[in-house]
Amino acid sequence: MHCATPLAAVLLDLDGTLLDTAPDMVRIVNMLRAHESLAPLAYADLRQYVSHGSAALLRVAFPGIDGVRFAATQGRFLELYREHLVVETRLFPGFEQVLAALEAHGIPWGVITNKPGWLTEPLLRQLALYQRAGCVLSGDSLPVCKPDPLPLLTAARRIAVAPERCLYAGDALRDMQAARAANMVGLAARYGYIGAQENTAQWPVTAWIDSPLDLLAWVGLDRIALQLPAGAHS
């Protein structure tokens, strides 16, 4: 399933959609647990919370921790994460080809995340993606963040593409709610950080994708783009 008329822009959530950031975030959570003489938690048990940010991760890792200690633990987590943003973090498989194809065909792409800018920008810069993106909006770029549609509408304005000609891909309910409210095609990334407890049948998605490569059909590039070598971006 995809649009009869190809879309003109690709907008993306960051954690769990464009980038596989879970290995680095989970590693730091377990570093903090080790400091408290606690055994590490299984990667699979923590991965599903990564898209919901550090607070959600830490509430699972340190259940029952009081407010003051929680704030201190979260502060330490963010400090360590900022220092080790890109150890194992990578583009999800297929995304280098997707971005190269979009760029080769003049289709703008951008990032809209609830992650704060002081983490988003250095993360994208270290992966040489920041300068390639047509726009980057972080959780603190505007007075509101997803599920409010304003970040998506602002991104569409910045890349000069009408919202209804944009797709927004994400791996959380708030991503699909924002896309629906912004009148964009909302594609939910099944490969992302979605927990078994999520009632995904109720998400307002246009369609599900199993791989970043599935995005190409929505912008009319399904076959041509795959012939590009992985490093062929301008």
**Helix/strand/coil for 90:** strand
Q: What phi-psi label fits residue 160: left (phi over 0), alpha (psi between -120 and 50 degrees) or beta?
A: left
CB-based contacts of 2, cutoff 8 Å, min separation 6: 207, 217, 218
Angle of CA points 165, 160, 189, to nearest 5°: 45
Task: Identify whether 13 is a catalytic site residue.
Answer: yes
Phi-psi region of 11 (alpha: psi -120 to 50; beta: other; left: phi over 0): beta
Nearest to 93 by CA among 223, 206, 192: 192
Degrees, nearest 5: CA angle 168-123-162: 25
**Out of 13, 15, 171, 214, which one is annotated catalytic?**
13
Residues involved in catalysis: 13
